[in-house]
Every structure is written in C-alpha cells, then in structure tokens.
Structure 1
Amino acid sequence: QLSLPSSTEEKEVLVLVEPEDFLKRLLSLTQSFVNAPSASQPDLNQVLPLADVEGSSTKTYSLAIIRLDAYRCNQEHSRQQALSPGKQSSSSQPGPELCMTQEEILEVLVVLQLWGNIEVLFLDTWQEFGQHVSALTKAIAKRPYKRQLESQELPFCTAGAWASRVRMEKDSTGLRQVWKRQIQQFNRVSPATAAAIAEAYPSPSLLLQAYEECSTEDEKRLLLSDIPVKLDVSSKDHRVGPDLSRRIYLFMVSTDPDLILDLST
C-alpha cells in the first residue's frame, strides 16, 4: 500500500493589491494614528485584505503592488485634464488617498515592517511579478530538502565522495572542486561566483594567507569584493561584492560558533 507524503501549509502569503486599493488602505491606517494612543499597536487589519481569514494571524504577509507610480501619475494627469477650461467637473477632485506624500507612504511602510513584519514589493511590470512568484515558489519547494540537509551533521563530509558527487582521490584530485562547492553553500552564491573566487584563491589556505597580508580589517573584509564574475559569454563582468566578501572573511577567521554571517536572514 502506497502512503501519500504529508503536506504542510506554508506560512508565507503573497497578496497582490491594486494600486488604488493599496493607497486607500494606507490612508485608512494613517488616519487611525491620529486618535490612537502613542504607545498602542496599530491595527494592521486595515491594510491586509485577508486579515479576517481564519488562521491569518499565523501567516507572514508580503504585499505586491504593480505600477504604483504609474497609477499616481495617470491619476494626476487625468485630474489636470479635468481641470482644464471647459472640462471642470465635480469629479475632478482627487481622492484623499492620492494626496498622500511620498514621506507619508514611507512612514506607513515602516510601521508595516516593524509592527507586522509585512514586506511591501513595488514592481514595474507583470513580468517582474511573475518572476517573483516563481522565485518564491522555488524557494518554498526547496525548503524541506534544505531542512533535511541542515539536520545532518556535516552533510558535505562523506566517505570517499562529496555530497554533490565530487570524487576525492588520494592524490588530492577534486579538492579545488570541493572548495568551490563549499563556497556555494553560502546564501545567494551562484556557481559562477564560487568559481571566480576559487580561481583567484584555489584553496582555503591561500585565502587565509591573503588575509594575513592585509594591513587593515576593512581591507580583509573587502578582499574578495572586486573579483570579476563572468556570468556567460555575452554578459558583462559582475563583481563578488562587499557583502559576500565580508561573509566569507568572517567564516574563515571567526571562532564564534553563534556568529550570524548573513545579516539578511
């Protein structure tokens, strides 16, 4: 008898909100600040379209708004046309939500982030939205596999072969490939980036020697940042960047087992 794998409902919820609806919800939340006590928690139910759904309190929300700036510009243009001679009407006045300044919108976004851990994504095209949904779905699908790997003790150390089938021979053949794969274990590191670092410093010991030759901490942290990364034949060179350079440096030299390398997690 075949047993079906158990399914678990994820906590992440991505909500697509129309620009007009989004601005109205922000305005409603802003107006609630006026009469609320200074130390009270804001009512975020006014912003979340699904806040009244059962189990919503355990969810982590992300709001996606497409072409907000274009919507505001179009509404302002329509209002200016309506105010032109011979076209003035009572409907030419903009809604109060369109009168919100950029500073007011940013203030509400800070409240959403701090009080509700709600991320707001401003996208320019539907293609960007589709790409974000694809990336989010892929990350969630990989999560059980990553959890399984993290539960194993040193999963990259196996007898005779590495976890990704990099063969370790007695003459040390394959060490450079293992070093490259080890670099790839850092978050947001592509194979091309790992290959570029391994090309510049073919082994961990050579990288440590390079750190010792640096005269300042800043120089050590930025040692790898300017290494060029070739993504493909036709693309321009990218760089490793200061964030990854800092994380690798801390990983190589720190003796603190509880040190958080990736500040974005």
Structure 2
Amino acid sequence: MEILAIIKVEDFLNQVYNQIYGLGDYVGNTLISNCKYLIEVAGTSRITIIVCGVDEFFKKQKKTSNKNYREAILKDTEDPSNLKRPKKRKKNDENASNLSQVTRIDVETALVAVQVELGVNSRFFENPSKIADFVAQVAKAIAEKPFKLEKARTNFSWHIESYNVNCVKIDKSGAGLLKLWHQQLRQFNNVGPEAAQAIAKKYPSPQALIKVS
C-alpha cells in the first residue's frame, strides 16, 4: 500500500522549524512526529509526503529579505535616530518570523532525518496540477503492478504486439509456441527464416537459450 500525504507548505516549514530550532526531533509538532503519526494511522511506512510551493517560498523569502534590507538602509541614511529606536514586534508576525529562519539546508536536513529514521520519502511540486499528474502516475503504477508481476512469472519474456497482423495464436496445450519462437528470433537483424529455424531446432525455447548463455 502506498500513501501520499499532502502537507501545506506553511505547515511543512513550521514542522521543519520546530524540528531544527525548536522542540527537537521527538516531541511537539515536528516533521518526524507528524510522519510517525501518519505511519501509525496508515499502518505502513510506505509514505511519500508531498509539498507544493517550497521553491516559490524561498524565492519570495529572498526577494523580501533584499527589499527589507534596502528599506532599512535608506531609512537609516535619512534618519540616523532610527539606529537607536527599538523596533516593536507584533505577535502576528511571530510565525512569519519563524518561517523566515528556515533555510533550504534546514529542509534537506529534516527530510534526511525522516527518510533515514522512518523510511518516508518526499516530493516537492510547484503547482497543484503537477501533484495531480504525480498522483495519476502512482495510481496507474499501482493498478499495473499485479499484471507486471504476473507477466514476470511467465517463462517467455517476449510478447508479440496484439495489433500485429502476423500474430500467433497459442492454445492451452501450448500449440503455436514454436512458431512464436521463430517470429521472435526473426526480429533480430540479419536473422532470416532459415537461421531462425536452425536456432529453434537446437534451442526450442528462449529458456533453453538462456540456460546455455
């Protein structure tokens, strides 16, 4: 069973902040504690956490930081008294301030800890449509997995495409397998009917040829 857990970018960064700067790895609302909860609820560690907009957050963070720095320089230049004037910090800005401290290295460190300790993977996307595409790919892979496993158990790994007009019919008794083997051999370059027949006479199946090699 595969679990895809989508986390809001603000919640994700808060959990990273708590894990790196705040409450530690094992208590509080950290990335590790959140992933442990997901594992407990899902009953499996085969979880991929998905976050949308991490790169965009860091781009805005850098842009805002540069803007604030320029404004501070201009204010201090115009009014030197600003250097001595204490700046009031609003409570509503505390969360934003915490997020502004999170760096890409912090994110990578937290994700490595989660993957090493819990085996949880992660994927970043820049918009919801990319997430939808990824979910569709995972769903398709899960749906096709039983068929691929069954196909891998067969003795013959080659399959003639169903749309081929020269496809060979094989009944339950195995009649037609030798003709199919001839066709498969002829798919190789410079292998004509005579060469295919000679090879098939000595090696009546792909399995026989594999054993020799």
Same fold (TM over 0.5): yes
CA–CA separation in structure 1 for the residues paired with 2:98 and 2:52:
20
Q: Return the match for 1:20 from 3, 10, 25.
A: 10
Q: 1:48 to 1:15 in 2, by over 3 A?
A: farther
CA contact (8 A) 1:155 1:163 kept: no
Q: Offset of 1:132 from its aligned partner?
A: 0.7
Structure 2 letter corresponding to 1:175: L
Contact 1:64 1:120 in 2 (8 A): yes
* 1:30-45 correspondence to structure 2 within 5 Å: 30=20, 31-33=22-24, 44-45=32-33
Report the Cα distance in structure 1 between the residues aligned to 2:119 and 2:181, rounded to whole angstroms: 52
Match of 1:129 in 2: 131
Hey, what does 2:122 align to over in structure 1?
A: 120
Question: 2:185 — aligned with what?
Answer: 175
Cα offsets for 1:117-167 (capped at 9, x unmatched): 1111111222221211111010011112122223x341437xxxx465554
Which structure has more relative contact order (CA 8 Å, sep 6+)? It is 2
The corresponding residue for 1:194 is: none
* TM-score (normalizing by structure 2): 0.57
What is the identity percentage for the equivalent residue pairs of Structure 1 and Structure 2? 16
State whether residues 13 and 62 of structure 1, in contact with CA within 8 Å, keep that contact through their aligned partners in structure 2.
yes
The aligned length equals: 160
Q: Which has the higher helix share?
A: 2
Write out per-residue CA displacement over residues 165-223 of structure 1, whole angstroms, 9 at most, x where no aligned residue.
5547489444354x6xxxxxxxxxxxxxxxxxxxxxx489xxxxxxxxxxxxxxxxxxx
One-letter code aligned to 2:99: E
TM, length-normalised to structure 1: 0.47
Q: How does 1:20-169 map to 2 (within 5 A)?
A: 20-30=10-20, 31-33=22-24, 44-47=32-35, 50-51=38-39, 53=41, 56-75=42-61, 77=63, 84=71, 90-91=89-90, 94-150=96-152, 152-156=153-157, 162=159, 164-165=161-162, 166-167=167-168, 169=179
* Distance 1:28-1:58 versus aligned 2 partners, 3 A rule: same
Could you say what the CA RMSD is over the residues aligned between the two structures, in angstroms?
A: 3.9
Matches within 5 A, 1:196-235: 202=189
Rg (Cα) greater in structure: 2
